[in-house]
Structure 1
Amino acid sequence: MDGNTLQAKIYGGYAKAATRIGLSFAQYRPTSATNPLATSLGSLLASFNAQDWTYKKPQGYGKAVWYCVADGTQLAVGDYLVGAPGTFFIASMQPALPIQAVLCNRTVTLYRPQQEASTGIGAYGGNTAQNQTVLAQGFPASVLQGSKSESSVARLPGDPRQGWWNMLLPPLPGGVLINYADVVTDDIGKRYLVSSAEQTSMGWRMAVTEAET
């Protein structure tokens, strides 16, 4: 048996399992950076587990990655599966290994700020909503609390520490790149600044800080 035959058998087994234990998900393949759920591929049966093939272990806090049981021949990295259990994006489809998916809990929009300096006494340059360029809009993402925080810039006695967050996104259509200091907003009104962004084979992994202003 060669590698291609083995892979076909694995995905065939996943497809059979999904018909027994899977739920129906709407499948989308992003082709636009501003409307990722515009291209529908129909519906797909899929089941997700907390990286536990026995289905005996529930997922705990702070865990974004799940195993996906579905017909892999119908999937591609970056696809979104949207259903009653939640919204997932396919993060990896490595040969002979489980399909990994990320559970999304937020919808985010990314901006590229343009610094504009004023003139005159006390000149100030900063980012405002008017001088931001949209990079990607309306992408379901995983935004989970990070393991560290830092002191407020003002360092006033009553200021809480500034929180860090871990953000995961699929690859962005059109080769859009995310840079240090890009701005992110989400569907519940939070605003973040990108502290670091890593482009991986599983999509984007970012460390972001919650913006104070």
Structure 2
Amino acid sequence: MRPWEVVAPRPWETQQPVYAHTVAIHRPNVNTSAGDRGYSGVTRSNEGVVATGLPASIQVKSRGGEPDASIPADAYGRASFVIFVPASAVTEGEIAENDIAVDDLGKRYQIAAAEWTPLGYQLLTDLLKP
């Protein structure tokens, strides 16, 4: 075959990964002590690891609504993301609301809703600030 007769594969002939990312699931530790305990919100230092290396598909669901002020320089709210994790990678009940998903790019997502389906988890998340 001559070089100009070689045809590149068409897009539908190449395999594209369904789960192109990996995520780790972290769970914030709850401090139940009384008295002056300092800042007790979510920080990376007070998170425990629930699972790592889970295959995931991360997709943008929607952007936030229009701000109340409606001035030209206003930015729309943060985007929501849906993360799909296959049933072969986790068991039902392993991921919960308020857990933190960290993807292979270092982005952090707070899980607002964790729905178990026969195909795996569907996680509705909000992107956290870096």
- Shared topology, TM-score over 0.5? yes
Comparing 157-166 with 139-148, which one deviates more in the overlay?
Answer: 157-166
Q: Number of aligned pairs?
A: 111
Question: For the residues of structure 2 that align with 1:132 and 1:148, how far apart are their CA atoms?
Answer: 27
Q: Which residue of 2 aligns with 1:202?
A: 119
Contact 1:115 1:126 in 2 (8 A): no
Q: Deviations over 1:76-100 (max 9, x none)?
A: xxxxxxxx7233xxxxxxxxxxxxx
Judged with a 3 Å threshold, the aligned counterparts in structure 2 of structure 1 residues 125 and 204 are, in CA distance, closer, same or farther, namely same
Match of 1:76 in 2: none
2 CA distance for matches of 1:119 and 1:106? 42
The letter for the 2-side match of 1:86 is: Q
Structure 1 residue aligned with 2:44:
129
Deviation at 1:139, TM superposition (A): 1.4
Residue 104, structure 1, aligned to residue 19, structure 2: yes
| Greater relative contact order (CA < 8 Å, ≥ 6 in sequence) | 2
Residue 141 of structure 1: how far off its partner (Å): 0.6
Distance 1:149 1:202 in 2: 28
Q: Is the 8 A contact 2:65 2:77 kept in 1?
A: yes
Normalized against structure 2, the TM-score is what?
0.70
**Structure with higher helix content:** 1
Listed as ranges, the gaps of 5+ residues in structure 1 are 1-57, 59-83, 88-102
More strand by share: 1
Deviation per residue, 1:93-117 (Å, 9 max, x gap): xxxxxxxxxx122211111111337
Once the 2 structures are TM-superposed, how far is the Cα of residue 173 of structure 1 from its aligned partner?
4.0
Residue identity (%)? 25
What's the counterpart of residue 212 of structure 1?
Answer: 129
Residue identity matched to 2:36: G
Please tell me whether residue 183 in structure 1 is matched to residue 95 in structure 2: no
C-alpha spacing 1:184/1:210, structure 2 compared with 1 (3 Å): same
Q: Note the aligned Cα RMSD (angstroms).
A: 2.9
Structure 2 vs 1, CA of residues 146 and 174 (structure 1 numbering), >3 Å: closer, same or farther? closer
Counterparts of 1:186 and 1:175, CA distance in 2? 20
Q: Check whether the contact 1:112–1:135 (CA below 8 A) recurs between aligned residues.
A: yes
Deviation at 1:130, TM superposition (A): 2.2
Gaps of 5+ in 2: 1-11, 68-72
